[in-house]
Structure 1
């Protein structure tokens, strides 16, 4: 599968991404040979373990009492003194730029990105010959490689690299054939302009041309070839970035381009081929930008493009997050468009949906090992700061996190009560630990991460208070990202016992109890959770028939809000099911209809909200609805390079902002349409595939327990195979039929269903 074009990219949303989980580049192709560079740990800011006002804890205690009494005005006044102090919060920033240019006017050109190989290929036709440029980002060797070769006449190449933030310093070592850039990741929107990591960019070049230096950089005249190895590093983890870069480059040079390329292909192709999804191509002969426009003009009609977007989401996650990445994927993955980092919200970790959705497809589509940097960051960076915040702000045990975080593990509330107090975000991100276990059943992993999961439950338990009218235990304060409710005619954001907070609390308690049982680590605390669970508020339908968003049936300030946090109880938390909870799932349907009312504006612009609509309708098994929401993700929200953007008034930038979660959420939504885990040992095959997906096939989708499922279907039947990870008895469901099968670990089992 590939993306391809007949024009050089003129802007970021036309350039093609390559990445190795550490280094990212956007490839513009053409004669300019521009590459916008980024690096996983290139962050401004610094660690602020507990950035709170000295009286925040005392005021939080009083605010919680007011909230429980229903006095939201008084509570808000106090909570204004409990917000996090932004200080040097920081953001991921761009790293710099590489130019591997050609001094000639193209007659024609093509650009390609091969998803299975991770190769970006430029073909440039010239008078008297042509030039081919090949680029890739190698994880085994931690370098980006670029090779330019001229066929026919020899050419003049130009090479230059520079840092993004100024000042930075560039050294040319003519003897060693290297360019080295050193600088600091500094900006003054989200930090003081003086605080950030130190970085280094180092490249080595080889050419048969005559090399000189002028204002354009290094000029290679009369050349038939140019080979570049580039790497970058920061001192985020205490390394000397320049020494690390030089070691990597020297190793790659000694190894040689062909060997570096071969190892890259072996690693990249193996991961990408773990899971595939194909449907018939209708317009593959069109360049990708034209293909997207044709899809929009014809309201679909090109199922192969949907398959391409599915695999592209996996490609972007794999490029952003490898098992050895130092940090999890930020808002834009490993790439950075120099726009998100300049906005009122930053290129960071948003824990109220975005970071979770970045990893939504990881386990199910065979990239579960790529969640490792997220899991390490939760345990080693976020939870320690969250422990300080829990104690200081809430007087609670365990650890917490709120709406946002960063490379340094910010765990305090955000700096505005209108969005910053999502107290269960720590619990939700901690559930990534449990999800990884559900797919792998790796007891050693679960043992290593159990305390992190357990201490998240400890915090959520400690902040519960008894609601005086019902006697239920409710979270205080409680927030439904990023909506508000009306009380006495005024908007408020914080109350008690909201559905999102309650659902996360319930899911974390259930996970901890089961994990403790599996590991034989039950104790008084885990046993006490059974009684606590019985006292949590149940899900309820409100006066409009909707799933209630708050503990009381308030009116929403924003009925069309892009966040649908209370519906996360359906997916990914799995607390509601169409089979088990038909009435509540009908309330979910009403909620979705109200969000999408006649005057809906906010929800239609958010890329991740579009993905949620696919996921929710897929989980409700509303196949035509799920298919309906696939289309605007491609037609309206994606750009020429297939990156799906967040648009509308919350971005304040024309053309929108790329966020990784749009593409990964799309992939997760399609995966949910193809395969779902039902009740214990139950697998639903093609549970939400719309009628217009007449034929197709997928391989390697994972179910809980690590079983791999592959299916092919047409208009009359489906056939498939299952590769079990362990001995099991499974119930397969498709087309309203059931098949019970007994499987043995590692022994493929086949199945067939007739419509």
Structure 2
């Protein structure tokens, strides 16, 4: 399981990412100037949100509803601007490290590798008759980035090490040390500050320092440690007055390296990483593939086979026609290469999650942890209408439950601020809500500044959506204490807001709807020809609320809670405006059977109840299928990831696999515009997802999609191979977690499970559907272990 290349990276989308959940690096690996972009997940502009923002804006809700129920959608769109607040903060890079080689001889035998089995990056090359090796990693136990430079001949390392940044900064060189103090863009007295300390240890040779550079001459080996801390002290702490003592923390972490060896730090890092990574193994075909081709070449050849097999069918699918399974024609010696890339991409998603989601209250942002830009695309923010949630879809299933803790802490901060957003903007004194964009400060209010399009600014279902993750954490762990203390209060607060936000439809008083409503980033065309975004009773709103109410009632049942509130939402659940099917046989996105302004739109929010939810009735699956056919297969990277899961949830593994191959189509780096440039949704040379530009949610959506094709679990039962593609007829996977607190290992051949083992830490019963048969199985104690399991061999 490795990504490897035979040349240095020229672009960000070719670099190799390392991270420990807080600090990260993007490694380019050029011997002449090895660039490492540096990030810290807590480094943002801005400061704590003003919880007085929007006070009094709620008076406009009644006016918007009046316009809507008069069917004046143009006026409703216009009035929505009064329910908009300021923009979110920006994620920013901490700095850039340069390792500049003094050897001017030609470079040969170059290889750049990311080993995701051990979370180590290696650069190997020959120059001037010397074989050089560089190793890089970001370690969680020791909270630093480590780099080791070695050569096969003594006194061969001659290099400069330089530290700089795009943000305002100052660098000071001292004895084998660089110290950089900087701050994010904005008022120096208000914004987040950082302290970066680089320490250099040399074996032989000499080291001198000046300004922002250390110069190494004639060394046998060099070790570099880099630590970074910021003044971010939590969403409510002012970075300067009540924030973290970042200089003292960085200094302490730097001094810690004086008492350990490189080998100790490396061993701790690998051991810590592998205790998570090694939980899941995935194989396609009869044996694990030998990854013998550079990853960019593997990706390009894979893409060429996909496009050759599909031919013109991609265009037919985009136009709403159901394609045949042309991918079944892909067979031959390239099968092993396909298996290698498809399993690598799955495990790469797990690597990225371990590397970017381990720091308290700071979940992965749109680019995960890694961005070289002063101003990241879309602020690098937490986009609440799908993107943040998609990042955590695979976490529980791929046995990385611990990586959801930053999201849990962040949701608590959203709750604290969202109470004020509910009151100020929507006039609701119970519960909390969150709108489209958030940031490190847990912003919950709508954005747009009174000027932006309501189709994305004026959506307030973010809180209702994101709490599904904390409910899922309970389902996977059976941790009632967690449900009682953490999950249920967050879910209940989101449900309280939604309960008060629902209104009677004056045209049909027996049903409840939302008003105003939008369907994230989408637009309708009314029967009178008006193109707009604001409506009432949008399907996605009601699907999210329906799912939330069902989950809250289920949680209340587990906790033996029955009170006026549970009775209220149970009644409201029955009165929600139902799903409707349109004239084209598709699931309506809007209250009325209006046309979509863009039938191929990247969002499919009205299918929320199908996936990631579980509440869309099976009798509407055909309508959901028709909706997906009309949307087509060509889309952005993260949307393709979502569609993989939707098709898999419908049981159509071949179509899900088709989209998996679409997701893995080669895309050129964003700034490359040569004659062979390709810019679309897909995958960059370093396997980062191309929205475009890079958005990490597509990587995580793809990894989740593999799980959904192989295993389906609900509180009611387990299905093995529910949507297995024809192309994956043989394989094995171990360590996949299931709702209900189970883990499954299984192997299959010719599309049928040949053996499986289900394990739990509790003596549970499991309802299992396998090879078309359903059985109820009792897990029994396994030897002297504190585990219970059941196995079956066919």
TM over 0.5: yes
Q: Are 2:205 and 1:168 equivalent residues in the alignment?
A: no
CA contact (8 A) 2:757 2:790 kept: yes
How far did 1:193 drift? 8.8
CA–CA distance in structure 1, aligned partners of residues 792 and 652 of structure 2: 24
CA contact (8 A) 1:2 1:114 kept: yes
In the TM superposition, 1:290-305 aligns within 5 A as 290-299=297-306, 301=335, 302-305=338-341
- Alignment match, 1:600: none
- Alignment match, 1:460: 498
- Alignment match, 2:425: 393
Q: Are 2:617 and 1:617 equivalent residues in the alignment?
A: no
CA deviations 1:23-69 (Å, max 9, x no partner) are: 01011113122211100101012222347455421112321232234
CA–CA distance in structure 2, aligned partners of residues 604 and 93 of structure 1: 31
In the TM superposition, 1:207-246 aligns within 5 A as 207=202, 208-213=204-209, 217-237=213-233, 238-246=243-251
SS at match of 1:419: helix
CA deviations 1:541-579 (Å, max 9, x no partner) are: 111110111122111111110000011110111112xxx
Q: Are 2:51 and 1:15 equivalent residues in the alignment?
A: no
CA contact (8 A) 2:647 2:653 kept: yes
CA–CA distance in structure 2, aligned partners of residues 426 and 163 of structure 1: 39
In the TM superposition, 1:281-680 aligns within 5 A as 284-299=291-306, 301=335, 302-322=338-358, 324-338=359-373, 341-343=375-377, 345-379=378-412, 381-396=413-428, 397-415=430-448, 416=452, 417-449=454-486, 450-470=488-508, 471-487=510-526, 488-576=528-616, 581-596=617-632, 604-636=634-666, 637-647=682-692, 657-678=693-714, 680=715
Which segments of 5 or more consecutive residues in structure 2 lack a partner in the other structure? 234-242, 307-329, 667-681, 782-786
How far did 1:466 drift? 0.4
CA deviations 1:468-494 (Å, max 9, x no partner) are: 233211112211111111122111111
CA 1:392–1:326 in structure 2 vs 1: closer, same or farther (change >3 Å)?
closer
CA–CA distance in structure 2, aligned partners of residues 214 and 143 of structure 1: 23
CA contact (8 A) 1:730 1:742 kept: yes
CA–CA distance in structure 1, aligned partners of residues 348 and 630 of structure 2: 32
Of 75-84 and 135-144, more deviation after overlay is shown by 75-84
CA–CA distance in structure 2, aligned partners of residues 170 and 326 of structure 1: 30
CA–CA distance in structure 1, aligned partners of residues 158 and 440 of structure 2: 38
CA deviations 1:143-178 (Å, max 9, x no partner) are: 11111111125224334343433431111121xx32
How far did 1:660 drift? 1.0
CA–CA distance in structure 1, aligned partners of residues 290 and 139 of structure 2: 31
CA contact (8 A) 2:74 2:530 kept: no
- Alignment match, 2:254: 249
SS at match of 2:291: coil
The TM-score normalised by the length of structure 1 is: 0.92
How far did 1:278 drift? 1.6
In the TM superposition, 1:127-166 aligns within 5 A as 127-166=128-167
CA–CA distance in structure 1, aligned partners of residues 621 and 116 of structure 2: 38
Number of residue pairs matched by the alignment: 721
How far did 1:213 drift? 3.4
How far did 1:103 drift? 2.2
CA contact (8 A) 2:54 2:421 kept: no
SS at match of 1:67: helix
CA contact (8 A) 1:22 1:39 kept: yes
SS at match of 2:574: helix
CA contact (8 A) 1:30 1:124 kept: no
- Alignment match, 1:39: 40
CA–CA distance in structure 1, aligned partners of residues 650 and 252 of structure 2: 53
CA deviations 1:659-687 (Å, max 9, x no partner) are: 11011110000111010015x44211111
CA 1:156–1:51 in structure 2 vs 1: closer, same or farther (change >3 Å)?
farther
CA contact (8 A) 2:173 2:213 kept: no
Which segments of 5 or more consecutive residues in structure 1 lack a partner in the other structure? 597-602, 648-656
Of 516-525 and 247-256, more deviation after overlay is shown by 516-525
RMSD of Structure 2 on Structure 1 (CA) = 1.9
CA–CA distance in structure 2, aligned partners of residues 723 and 214 of structure 1: 59
SS at match of 2:492: helix
How far did 1:583 drift? 3.0
CA–CA distance in structure 1, aligned partners of residues 53 and 72 of structure 2: 24
CA–CA distance in structure 2, aligned partners of residues 371 and 663 of structure 1: 16
CA deviations 1:692-711 (Å, max 9, x no partner) are: 11221111111112200011
CA deviations 1:68-125 (Å, max 9, x no partner) are: 3432222222211111123xx3211111111233322422211111112100011121
